[in-house]
């Protein structure tokens, strides 16, 4: 049942993004980020291990809830293997980003996001939980940027698995 709800939420979010994109005259921006993640809590945290991460984001045009802001749909995947046990976190979040300075002279931005996260440790199967994130970024150029994030999730049922994580990524806007 949780898998069906997760797929339904993902489908709904992608449908909304496609509808917004179809109404715009130009295609939406696509952003790709790679980086490293440090898992912070529970069974998902293998000691002294940084996980690689990959994120693909779709900017949803004309949907920002704040002036000069940006709304994006973010699909993120982290994975690592230690002592033969693989851990995975997949997240689908709707993010709102806004600049610190609306004059365009300050390249720093901040944001918040929330959505479903899917956690998997070893052979336990995927568990859907709700999570959120806060982030701060710095635009190096119009296309290259760095972003730091902190993610927090609810606990995966009776286990101690949580997707709480700190990460740093480098991104490229197409």
The DSSP-derived string for 12-37 is HHHHHHHHHHHTSSSPPPEEEEEEEE
Q: What is the CATH number of domain 2-173?
A: 2.40.160.20
Higher-pLDDT residue of 138, 69: 138
Give the mean pLDDT of 165-174.
93
Residues 23, 46: Cα–Cα separation, whole Å: 45
Q: Where are the beta strands (DSSP E) in 100-161?
A: 108-121, 127-139, 144-153
Q: Where are the domains of the chain?
A: 2-173
112-126 pLDDT, tens digit each: 999 999 988 777 778
30-41 pLDDT, tens digit each: 999 999 998 887
Higher-pLDDT residue of 2, 172: 172
What pLDDT score was predicted for residue 139? Answer: 92
């Amino acid at each position: 049942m949780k898998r069906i709800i997760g797929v339904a939420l993902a489908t709904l979010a992608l449908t909304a993004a496609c509808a917004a994109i179809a109404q715009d005259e130009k295609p939406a921006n696509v952003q790709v980020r790679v980086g490293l993640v440090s898992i912070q809590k529970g069974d998902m945290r293998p000691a002294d291990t940084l996980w690689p991460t990959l994120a693909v984001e779709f900017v949803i045009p004309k949907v920002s809830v704040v002036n000069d802001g940006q709304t994006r749909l973010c699909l993120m995947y982290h994975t690592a293997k230690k002592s033969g046990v693989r851990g995975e976190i997949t997240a689908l979040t709707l993010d709102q980003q806004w600049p610190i300075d609306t004059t365009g002279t300050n390249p720093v931005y901040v944001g918040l996001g929330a959505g479903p996260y899917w956690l998997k440790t070893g052979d336990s199967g995927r568990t859907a939980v709700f999570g959120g994130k806060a982030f701060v970024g710095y635009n190096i150029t119009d296309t290259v940027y760095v972003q730091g994030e902190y993610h927090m999730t609810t606990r995966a049922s009776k286990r101690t698995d949580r997707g709480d994580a700190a990460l740093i990524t480098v991104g490229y806007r197409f």
